[in-house]
Structure 1
């Protein structure tokens, strides 16, 4: 008869408990695929760091041309996989273009997700004419950052 059958139930319990603890330790020791990074405001975004060293939550100023077209850059939103920031072009209060200024691209998987999510989010924003858009399946963090940055741009434009 096998050693772990009827004659040694305590050994079976001990081995099961040890395997469970080992599995939990291994599971809890998993790390995200990229380490978190500190977001810094770029000079091109038109922001200055706040006293705490974090990026300012004030969106960059809007640029205006003679035709009534304005471009507004939203806040940089720090997501789990990297920063997301959008720039909105408005003509007479209507969204005519949405451009992703930054999105997660640290590794091939981030690039793949951004390459299919950003165009879908752009189409949604142009169709909805607001930040009330659906998230892209499989890109929930990027979608959330996109919507929050878009909303900050629209808020700063007064829409």
Structure 2
């Protein structure tokens, strides 16, 4: 009976070691989130079209800033979870509309986070009338990309 008791701890140790190694292998085999190539390919086209229209009116930015309406699309900013790009409408020197043209939407978690983050960021921009806004908790990467794209759009608009 003494010999049986010796083998039991060895079996438990072996089972624990095999389980641990299997768990580590499974954990390491997970792939990180990657951005879709389709969204990246369409973003520069939107940006070049809008920057063409904004560069045509940027020569008279002093007069259009106070009297006209401009819609400018900011740079596409690559974040950890995908590209973020913002379009801004400026009327009489004030931001009247902010639209997120591109943002991470690949999986349900991205959709859940951005369904509350994007409207909150929009409200903050319209209230602050600048890119100096707070990040949304839980959407740090999207908030950072949103702010960078917004700043590039405001720079192009002459604000």
Output the TM-score relative to the length of structure 1: 0.71
The 5 Å alignment of 1:1-159 reads 9-32=9-32, 35-38=34-37, 39-40=40-41, 41-46=43-48, 60-61=51-52, 62=54, 64=57, 67-159=67-159
Structure number having the greater helix percentage: 2
CA–CA distance in structure 1, aligned partners of residues 145 and 23 of structure 2: 33
For the pair shown, which has the larger CA radius of gyration, 1 or 2? 2
Unpaired runs of 5+ residues, structure 1, are 48-58
CA–CA distance in structure 1, aligned partners of residues 13 and 89 of structure 2: 65
**Offset of residue 118 of structure 1:** 0.9
For the Cα contact (< 8 Å) 2:46–2:73, is it kept in 1?
no
**Offset of residue 107 of structure 1:** 3.7
**Offset of residue 142 of structure 1:** 1.9
RMSD value, Cα:
3.1
Output the TM-score relative to the length of structure 2: 0.71
* Number of positions where the alignment pairs a residue of Structure 1 with one of Structure 2: 146
SS in 1 for 2:70: strand
Unpaired runs of 5+ residues, structure 2, are 58-63
